[in-house]
Amino acid sequence: MIKKFIYSCQLKMKKNLYHHALSLTCACLAFTGIATGVEPEQRVSLQVKEKCNPLNLKPSIELLYLSAKEAKSHPDQFVRECALNEPGFSKNYLFLNDFPNDTLLSILIKRPLLEQKSKITSCIPKPSSKEKIQFMFNDNLPKEHKFICLPSKGFLLGERVTLIFTDDNGFEIEASIIPNPIKVTSQNETVTIEAELLGTYPANYIFSFKGFQADEVIDVTAISGNEKIKCKFCIGMGFMLMPGVIGEKGGVAKSSFKRKSGEEIQVDLPWGMEFLRTIQFSSHL
């Protein structure tokens, strides 16, 4: 029988921050608890940067990303319960291994892209050092069952953020994730294309390609507004794209990547004022 998360750990947040978080578009609410039946091989290990580790722990973080549909229909009861927070949005389950027990931990979310001055970022409330998620793990809780759940709502598509974990005893580590990823897998599930947002004004993306051969040549067709470009590139050379169109306020660029076999993979890239729509309504079903 799975216990409610309130019995296995604590989630502490000042009342005014709680209401503030609910009204903002930035995602700063999380749940902590037990997850059973989650397959470890589905998780991705994150690179952890230790700032201060007075207890000589060996902290590590594993990420399990689930779309809204996957989280809602997951066989584990507690994963489904976490999906009730911001329903319709994908979830990031962060499993925290060898973190301090029985001490109040805080998470600060840093969003470097919001420091760029533009009409887009000025519309998104910027997180302050006072806006922290606070929680505590019980010492009796198995380490494999300790996690927080961070919804994708409020984060720009492809935006990389830094999570800073601290406690009052000097413990401090950092890890970066993309809470609202742009990731498209081919129909036969052999290759994947991901896009990371590097800037908002002008919008620019860098791509990563998994499963492709380093010397594979790809035909690209990108359509944004009334503009259309075609080019070829080699996977090993890397690829970047700026989807903005002069004279237009925003939109979604349709980027098609065609392989020699004829297989095509389309990646949609929002830019301009379209960013403001995606942070509130991107469901990733």
pLDDT at site 126:
63
Helix (H) or strand (E) segment spanning residue 203: strand 203-210
Residue ranges in the chain assigned as alpha helix (H): 5-8, 15-23, 68-72, 77-83, 274-281
Question: Rounded to an integer, what is the distance from CA 246 to the centroid of its chain?
Answer: 29
Do strands 132-137 and 9-12 pair parallel, antiparallel, or not at all (unpaired)? antiparallel
Band of residue 270 on the pLDDT scale cut at 50, 70, 90 = very high
Contact indicator for 78, 40 with CB cutoff of 8 Å: no
| pTM as predicted | 0.80
* CA 190 – CA 101 distance, rounded (Å): 41
DSSP symbol at 42: G
Query: pLDDT, tens digit, for every residue of 68-94?
Result: 889 888 887 777 888 888 888 899 989
DSSP per-residue string spanning 45-95:
EEP-EEEE-TT----EEEEEEE-HHHHHT-SSHHHHHHHTSSTTS-EEEEE
Ordered by where they begin, the domains of the chain are 5-177 (no CATH), 182-281 (2.60.40)
What pLDDT does 35 receive?
43
For 223-237, write each residue's pLDDT tens digit: 999 999 999 999 999
What's the mean per-residue pLDDT of the chain? 78
> Which tokens hold the place of 23?
């009204």
Residues 140, 128: Cα–Cα separation, whole Å? 33
